[in-house]
Structure 1
Amino acid sequence: MSETQDHVDRSDQIAAQLPYLRRYARALTGSQTSGDQYALATLEAILQDAGALDPDVSVRVGLFKAFHAIWSSSGAPVAEETSGRLIRAQNHLASLPVNTREALLLSTLEDFGYADIAHIMNVTEDDIRGFIDRAQADMQDSIAGRVLIIEDEPIIAEDIRSIVMDLGHEVTGIGRTRAEAVALGRDKRPDLILADIQLADNSSGIDAVNDLLAELGDSPVIFITAFPERLLTGERPEPAFLISKPYKESQVQSAVSQAMFFASTEKLRI
């Protein structure tokens, strides 16, 4: 293979992983704006120095490792925001032990194994186990709140309900269509929304969420969908938490706990 072709293939591989790096960066910072700034800085570093992408590991691991080199060297700050909720979230983030949320997100949201996470973060696997244990404990300390589930598959809806309730949260209802979801949200305002994209009557979970946010104000949203590419476009505001179906229970637990962690920077209704 020629050097030119190898460069093209590497670029294509990076492009394929970029939406997931952006997803991780948004979840890590709690903001699409600041998350995208770090993802862009990572790409710029790779363009300026090909050695920034570790050639001894997969492109996916190398890309996240390059991101963490920038994240760590900058002191892992969160970019300034004007939203009151995000300012409070930044203050909440500052109180967490270093590396805990990073390790938890890499494990649960991005599904990296401990060995890869250790390589990405340049620590030992034992360190990673400790970080994840601590992060899970910190997330579980978040205030319990109300959760609205928007999902048309009965078995999946009940599974998600069980996961959410086991974490100590109240499920306010399960909406199978856009209209049902909006009615449930109006009846009892949720602190967190868990939503599928494609609903029973071919209505859109995205539209249902947008309707609710327009009426009720800013609330954390987690999309759990078999069609993540519909949201990882970079062409519109994207959710901080996006889980692909089929999901793992640990992914839902982590996303719910972290979304509630951000929401708990405000007073929740319990």
Structure 2
Amino acid sequence: MTIAATVAISDVRPAWRFRLPRRAISPLVLIALWEVGSRVGLIPLRILAAPSQVVATLFEMIASGELQANLLVSVGRAMTGLLLGGLVGGALAITAGLSKRGELAVDPPVQMLRTLPVLALVPLFIVWFGIGETPKILLIALGVTFPIYLNLYNGIRGVDPKLLEAARTFGLNGGALIRHVILPGAMPSLLLGLRMALTVSWLLLVIAEQINASAGLGYLINNARDFLQTDVIVVCLLVYAAIGLTADAGVRAIEARALAWRPSLIKE
């Protein structure tokens, strides 16, 4: 073999090597310690199942279809509450953001309700709406309303006045001005509010599914708690986290496409 060929091979080999990201080292070490602690008895099963047991339970729940069926129920509740709260919060923000009278009528009661702990309203929701699906969805919708309202309201009020004057100069007024100038200008704030609302919807979903749920991830967690099945609890928590991260990544993708006109998102 010639010297040139040897040099060429040595140049190619490093490209095929797998390098573990540095940020992944500490989580993997913690998982390994968790597994060892569980196997030697330092972490009892009733306290926390071993990672290997959690993975095995995950595959069992997927194979039986139990996880998918309950996941669909939870996603349906979260998305319904998110849609309802988003529509209400968006309508209130537009009303308050576009006129002084609307602000005086809408903003004070919204700010007053925003200071109330949402979880403290659970008993009232049960009294008013029973223990079916309605209180679960409305609880999520209420929590989602406020981040949508606050961010969109601030986005509308933060639109550059010079941009509004220029639009009026070109003959845009009323609905056209709102559609082509104000709402696009407030879009970054709206998307930020949507990301926050997604987080809130999943957090409140966990609480909502404690209200006499007969299906959903919260139902699985409640049953697992009663039977000390910590592996099932950890699986459901991981699914909650995975769905939340996926939803946030989805909003980021929408943001990158919808706000491509911003200099910060233009690729050099």
Task: Give TM-score scaled by structure 2 length.
Answer: 0.23
Task: Give TM-score scaled by structure 1 length.
Answer: 0.23
Higher helix share goes to which structure?
Answer: 2
Q: Which has the larger radius of gyration?
A: 2
**Larger RCO of the pair (alpha carbons < 8 Å, separation 6+):** 2
